[in-house]
C-alpha cells in the first residue's frame, strides 16, 4: 500500500459548503470596506523576513518563534524569505515601496488573504489562517481611530456576529510607552519570583508583554504594582478621551481594559480587541490599533497609522452554521439515451453562453437517476432529451419547483430556461 497523506497540522481544508460561506463572508466584508472608502490590495504571501523583524519586533513570539522560513534549493541569493505572519508591516512595506507617501496625505487599504504562524495548533489557533484586514496610513485624528473601531464592529454586525465584546486601551505615544516600559522593567525586576517562567524572561526583554499574561500570579503583580504607574501625556490622554467619546455617541459598547497591550510591538496610542464569548480560549475575533513608529522602522518618515484584522476561521466558528437552503442552481440537462449525450453536451454550451449555470451527467446514469440527481442538487429546471422528441425537434422542460412540464421546440429552450431561472440569479 502506498502512503496516504493528510493536511499539514494547523491548516484547514474547506470543502464546497465552507468555501461558499467564506466567499459570502468576504463579499459582505468587501461591500462594507467600499462604503468606508477603502481600496483593496493584493500582496504576496512571500516577504522579506526583515519586514517583520524590524516591523513587528525581534522579541515578539510571532517573530522570535513562529515565522515559517522559505528556502529554495541551490538558492544563490542569500535572502531571508518567510511566509508572511501578518499583514500590517507588509502593507507599510508596500506603501513605502510604491511611494504612496508622496501621493496624498493619507491612504486607506484593505486586504483579504492567508497568514502563517508556527503556533501550537488548537481550536481557533491555526498555522495558516485568513485575515480580513484594513490599514489607514497618514491620518492622526482621533476620528480615524473611532472610524476604524466602528468599521471593525460594523463588519462583525453585518456578518451576523451578534454576541461580541469590545475592549479598548491606550498605550500612549512612543515616548509614553517607552517611559512606562522602563518603569515596568524596574518594578518587575524586584518581583521576578512571583512571575511565571515566560514572564520572567519577558520582564527584562519586553516588559509590557507581562500585562497580557493570563496567569493569575502575573495578573496580581500587574494589578497591584504596575498599572498605577501608567501615565499618558496630556495629548495622548485627550486623544483617547475623544475616541471613547465618539464610541459613546455611536452607541458602540466597550470596556476599558488596562491589561490590553497586544502581542505585536508596533502599537502605540489606541489599541482594541473584539472577542466572542462563544469561542473559548482563542476568543479574539479581531484586533488592531494605532502604530505611529512602524513606517519609520521600515525606512520611511515617522507617520501615524492605524488598522485592524479579523480572523476568518474564528468568524466561522462564532457564526451559526448556515441553515439556508443552497440557491437553486440553474439547468440540469438529462438524456434518456446515451445517443443523446452529444446533443446534451452542446446544449450545455448554449445555456452557459446565456449566463445560465448548466450541468449534465458524466456517469452514464439512467434517466431516472439523472432526474433524482437534478432534484438532489437543487436544479431549478430539468431539460429532458428523448429520442422521439429529438426526431420531432422538441424537448421537455420541467420546472422543478412546480413540477410542471412543457414540451417546446429546441430553438425555444434557451429563452424558456432564461425565464425560469432569472428570478434565481
Ligand atoms: P492579530 O491580533 O495577531 O493582529 O491577528 C488578528 C486576528 O487574527 C486575531 O484577533 C484572530 O482573530 C486572528 N488570528 C491571529 N492568529 C491566529 C491563528 N494562529 N489562528 C487563527 N486565527 C488567528 C494582527 O495580525 C495585526 N496585523 C492586526 C492589525 C492590523 N493591527 C493594525 N492593523
Q: What is the pLDDT of residues 183-207, one digit of tens each?
A: 989 988 888 888 898 888 888 888 8
Report the pLDDT averaged over residues 99-128: 96
Whose cell is 425555444? That residue is 412
| Ligand 1 atom at minimal distance to the Cα of residue 285 | 12
Give CA–CA dist 162/157, Å, rounded.
6
Ligand 1 binding pocket includes 126 (Cβ within 6 Å): yes
Distance, CA 423 to ligand 1 centroid (Å)? 40
Q: What DSSP assignment string belongs to 152-168?
A: HHHHHHHHT--S-EEEE
Give CA–CA dist 310/131, Å, rounded.
6
Average pLDDT, the chain: 93
Q: In the predicted model, is pLDDT for residue 76 greater than 80?
A: no
Ligand 1 binding pocket includes 134 (Cβ within 6 Å): no
Measured CA angle at 266 (ends 90, 210), to 5 deg: 135
249, containing H or E segment: helix 234-250
Q: Which residues contact 395 (CB under 8 A, 6 or more apart)?
A: 383, 384, 385, 386, 389, 407, 408, 410, 413
334, containing H or E segment: strand 331-335
Atom 29, ligand 1: which residue's CA is nearest? 308
Q: Among 147, 160, 173, 326, which Cα is nearest to 250's?
A: 147
Atom 22, ligand 1: which residue's CA is nearest? 311
Structural domains in the chain?
16-172+232-318 (3.30.930.10), 331-424 (3.40.50.800)
pLDDT in tens, 13-58: 999 989 999 999 999 999 999 999 999 999 999 999 999 999 999 8
Atom 8, ligand 1: which residue's CA is nearest? 311
Ligand 1 binding pocket includes 88 (Cβ within 6 Å): yes
Distance, CA 110 to ligand 1 centroid (Å)? 14
Percent of the chain whose pLDDT exceeds 70: 96
Q: Are 210 and 203 in contact (CB under 8 A)?
A: yes
Q: In the predicted model, is pLDDT for residue 423 greater than 70?
A: no
Q: Residue 263: what pLDDT?
A: 86
Whose cell is 471593525? That residue is 152
Atom 11, ligand 1: which residue's CA is nearest? 311
Report residue 70: phi and psi, to 5°.
Answer: -115, 120
Report the pLDDT averaged over residues 262-281: 93
Q: Residue 425: what pLDDT?
A: 44
Predicted confidence band of residue 422 (pLDDT cuts 50, 70, 90): confident
Long-range pairs, 411-417, Cβ under 8 A, ≥24: 413/347, 413/383, 414/350, 414/351, 414/354, 414/356, 417/331, 417/351, 417/354, 417/356, 417/381, 417/383
Q: Among 77, 61, 129, 139, which Cα is nearest to 105's?
A: 139
Q: Which residues contact 201 (CB under 8 A, 6 or more apart)?
A: none
Atom 1, ligand 1: which residue's CA is nearest? 287
Q: Residue 204: what pLDDT?
A: 86
Amino acid at each position: 500500500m502506498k502512503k496516504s497523506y493528510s493536511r499539514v497540522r494547523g491548516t484547514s481544508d474547506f470543502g464546497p459548503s465552507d468555501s461558499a460561506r467564506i466567499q459570502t463572508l468576504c463579499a459582505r466584508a468587501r461591500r462594507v470596506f467600499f462604503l468606508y472608502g477603502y481600496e483593496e490590495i493584493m500582496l504576496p504571501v512571500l516577504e522579506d523576513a526583515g519586514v517583520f523583524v524590524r516591523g513587528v519586533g525581534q522579541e515578539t513570539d510571532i517573530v522570535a518563534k513562529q515565522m515559517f522560513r522559505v528556502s529554495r534549493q541551490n538558492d544563490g541569493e542569500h535572502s531571508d524569505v518567510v511566509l508572511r505572519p501578518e499583514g500590517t508591516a507588509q502593507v507599510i512595506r508596500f506603501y513605502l515601496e510604491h511611494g504612496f507617501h508622496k501621493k496624498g496625505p493619507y491612504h486607506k487599504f484593505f486586504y483579504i488573504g492567508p497568514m502563517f504562524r508556527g503556533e501550537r495548533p488548537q481550536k481557533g489557533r491555526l498555522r495558516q489562517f485568513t485575515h480580513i484586514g484594513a490599514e489607514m496610513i497618514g491620518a492622526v485624528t482621533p476620528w480615524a481611530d473611532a472610524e476604524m473601531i466602528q468599521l471593525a464592529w460594523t463588519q462583525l454586525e453585518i456578518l451576523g456576529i451578534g454576541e461580541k465584546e469590545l475592549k479598548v486601551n491606550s498605550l500612549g505615544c512612543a515616548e509614553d510607552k517607552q517611559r512606562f516600559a522602563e518603569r515596568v522593567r524596574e518594578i518587575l525586576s524586584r518581583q521576578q519570583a512571583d512571575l511565571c517562567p515566560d514572564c520572567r524572561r519577558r520582564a527584562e526583554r519586553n516588559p509590557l508583554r507581562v500585562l497580557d499574561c493570563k496567569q493569575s500570579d502575573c495578573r496580581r503583580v500587574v494589578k497591584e504594582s504596575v498599572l498605577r504607574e501608567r501615565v499618558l501625556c496630556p495629548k495622548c490622554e485627550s486623544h483617547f478621551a475623544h475616541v471613547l467619546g465618539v464610541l459613546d455617541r455611536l452607541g458602540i459598547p466597550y470596556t476599558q481594559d488596562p491589561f490590553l497591550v497586544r502581542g505585536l510591538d508596533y502599537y502605540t496610542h489606541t489599541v482594541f480587541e473584539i472577542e466572542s464569548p462563544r469561542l473559548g480560549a482563542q476568543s479574539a475575533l479581531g484586533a488592531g490599533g494605532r502604530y505611529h513608529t512602524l513606517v519609520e522602522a521600515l525606512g520611511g518618515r515617522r507617520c501615524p497609522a492605524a488598522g485592524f484584522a479579523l480572523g476568518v476561521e474564528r468568524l466561522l466558528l462564532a457564526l451559526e452554521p448556515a441553515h439556508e437552503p443552497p440557491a437553486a442552481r440553474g439547468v440540469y440537462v438529462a438524456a434518456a439515451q446515451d445517443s443523446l449525450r452529444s446533443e446534451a453536451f452542446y446544449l450545455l454550451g448554449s445555456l452557459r453562453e446565456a449566463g445560465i449555470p448548466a450541468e449534465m451527467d458524466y456517469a452514464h446514469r439512467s434517466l431516472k437517476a439523472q432526474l433524482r440527481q437534478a432534484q438532489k442538487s437543487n436544479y431549478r429546471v430539468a431539460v429532458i432529451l428523448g429520442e422521439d422528441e429529438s426526431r420531432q425537434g422538441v424537448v421537455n422542460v420541467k420546472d422543478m419547483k412546480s413540477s410542471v412540464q412543457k414540451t417546446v421546440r429546441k430553438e425555444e429552450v434557451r429563452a424558456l430556461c432564461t425565464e425560469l431561472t432569472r428570478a434565481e440569479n
